[in-house]
Amino acid sequence: MKNIDPEWNNFRNIGDGGDGFPSDMQYSIKFHGKNEVIFRQGDLCDALNILMTGSVKTEMITENGNLMGIEIINAPRPLAPAFLFSGNNRFPVDVTTLEEVEVLRIPKDEVIRLMTTQPEFMQQFLTHNANRTQFLTNRLQLLSIKTIKGKIAHFLLEQAGEQGDTFTLNRNQTELADFFGVARPSLARSLSEMIEEGIIAVNKKKYTILDKKKLRELLV
């Protein structure tokens, strides 16, 4: 799975004067070896840390939507940017390197200064956090639905909103089960029953909504 936040790509060149950022920006870059714990749960988060190269793992919710467990984060991406300004500004999980990494560190005060002086920086920061929030909210809605059929209904109705009543998913059944946080055979069983009841039709990764009304009733 890819793990891309396009809006952060500019930061590859941060501070080198090549992208409009001020050359007097205060920052530091740290290099870490493989399998090193670079942040521990509870560590104070008083700077914006951006993973510039390499990859790390954490235990937070994954970007591609799978449940908990381990999340692999690939550069370039900020590490827990939302916690920089939160009341309890501490890392919620351990962060461990998977290979040699390069981490750009911008102190909180400097981030605030950049935000006020560099509108683009601010926009990117805001957009990233906004997208993250939206993602989390959506994930939460999905997890709040208790039944598997309900999760399927929520997911399919969301897809149908963006596309038509027929669409192709880019996940197979196993990945979908992971995404929902349920067992694969259980998902298959629920899908079978919904097909049996004439609510949906499935052909490989192509899904068709046949009875939107019944689908909505499953959301309870």
Rounded to a whole number of angstroms, the minimum distance from the CB of residue 162 to a copy of itself is: 9
By C-beta, is 42 or 185 nearer to DNA?
Answer: 185
Q: Are 165 and 157 in contact (CB under 8 A)?
A: no
Cβ atoms within 10 Å, residue 21: 20
Query: What, of DNA, a copy of itself, none, does residue 149 touch, CB below 5 to 8 Å by kind?
Result: DNA
53 touching a copy of itself, by CB under 8 A: no
Q: Are 89 and 83 in contact (CB under 8 A)?
A: yes
Which one of residues 1, 29, 44, 126 is an interface residue with a copy of itself (CB under 8 A)?
126
Query: What, of DNA, a copy of itself, none, does residue 131 touch, CB below 5 to 8 Å by kind?
Result: a copy of itself
Rounded CA separation 191/91 (Å): 39
Rounded to a whole number of angstroms, the minimum distance from the CB of residue 157 to DNA is: 17
186 touching a copy of itself, by CB under 8 A: no
Strands of 28-145, DSSP E: 28-32, 37-39, 47-53, 55-58, 71-74, 77-79, 95-97, 101-107
Rounded CA separation 124/144 (Å): 30
Which one of residues 13, 131, 163, 186 is an interface residue with a copy of itself (CB under 8 A)?
131
Q: Are 128 and 78 in contact (CB under 8 A)?
A: yes
Rounded CA separation 168/205 (Å): 5
Which one of residues 92, 173, 184, 214 is an interface residue with a copy of itself (CB under 8 A)?
92
Query: What, of DNA, a copy of itself, none, does residue 173 touch, CB below 5 to 8 Å by kind?
Result: DNA
Q: How far is CA 178 from CA 42, 146, 169, 208, in A?
A: 28, 15, 14, 21
Rounded to a whole number of angstroms, the minimum distance from the CB of residue 23 to a copy of itself is: 20
By C-beta, is 6 or 204 nearer to DNA?
Answer: 204
User: Which residues sit at the interface with a copy of itself, rule CB under 8 A?
Assistant: 60-61, 67-68, 82-89, 92, 112, 115-117, 119, 122-123, 126-127, 129-134, 136-141, 143-144, 146, 181
